[in-house]
Amino acid sequence: MIVGLLGPEGTFSEKAANEWDSTAEPRYFEDVSDVVRAVIDDDVDYGIIPIENSLEGSVGMTLDALLKYDTRIVGEIIIPIRHCLLAKGKISEIRTILSHPQALAQCRHSIKNRFGEIEIVETMSTAWAAKRASESKEMAAIASETSAVKYGLNILLRDLQDRKENYTRFIVLGKTAPEPTSKDKTSVVVYLRKDRPGALYEILGEFASRNINLTKIESRPTKKALGDYLFYIDLEGHVIDEKVQEALRMVEKKAGMLRILGSYPKAE
């Protein structure tokens, strides 16, 4: 089995992939869209990408990719995130800190308190940051302990994230829908036909009236017009469940668009 994920070696996506299936062969890509396309083109069997962080919320590029490409969510993994400051030299030698935008955001206050107005550079992944930091003592990376080992860096600071409780949810993309387990989650995207008073309330009411618990609802701009939004919704249950089917049929009648992204086992 080949699993596509953000690279190079040492990313938190790699850690999530190992949690999901430690026997899978990893194949590394530069960004989320590349992973999604690899699944669609059958270059990999599955893809694992981050979708949500407990400190910084949803990963916008993942939400956009789920809408743009015809793919299916078949699983999820939640892992704790512990960021480290990695460098070849000492803290006093650091002039630039590099990392993925999500990691930088999760460590925003810690960076400011410790380093003031130091130069910040965004990279495609935390592992890319570590790889670049191995080239100069003036650069440091915010990345995992695993990256320190892989790229020969010193761990100067541990638990750099602004809060100790820091978790990222990853989704698994594939083409074969998993069988229901009785502990499932379904993800959908809803677009309202037009903005009007009570439109979203009516949609959410279809779930509430059937006692379907929503675990997440996130608005995202359509990028077509100001004030025009899509809604990403996670709900408890599987699409084969009768009450879920009923709710989605009614939502489809009231909405401009409904896309089912997948039903899959909830992460423990």
Q: Average pLDDT in the 84-111 region?
A: 95
Query: What is the dotted CATH code of the domain comprising 84-157?
Result: 3.40.190.10
Told to judge if 170 belongs to the known catalytic residues of this protein, a careful annotator would answer: yes
pTM: 0.90
Q: Average pLDDT in the 149-163 region?
A: 95
Residue 117 — very low, low, confident or very high, per pLDDT cuts 50/70/90? Answer: confident
For domain 184-265, the CATH architecture is 2-Layer Sandwich (3.30)
- Beta strands 96-99 and 139-143 are parallel
Domain residue ranges in the chain:
2-80+167-174, 84-157, 184-265
Told to judge if 29 belongs to the known catalytic residues of this protein, a careful annotator would answer: no
- For the cut 70, the answer to whether the pLDDT of residue 138 exceeds it is yes
The catalytic residue among 11, 71, 123, 168 is: 168
The catalytic residue among 12, 170, 186, 207 is: 170
CB atoms within 10 A of CB 213: 11
**Fold (CATH) for 2-80+167-174:** D-Maltodextrin-Binding Protein; domain 2 (3.40.190)
The DSSP output letter for 212 is: P
Provide the mean pLDDT of the chain. 93
Question: How much is the pLDDT for 195?
Answer: 63
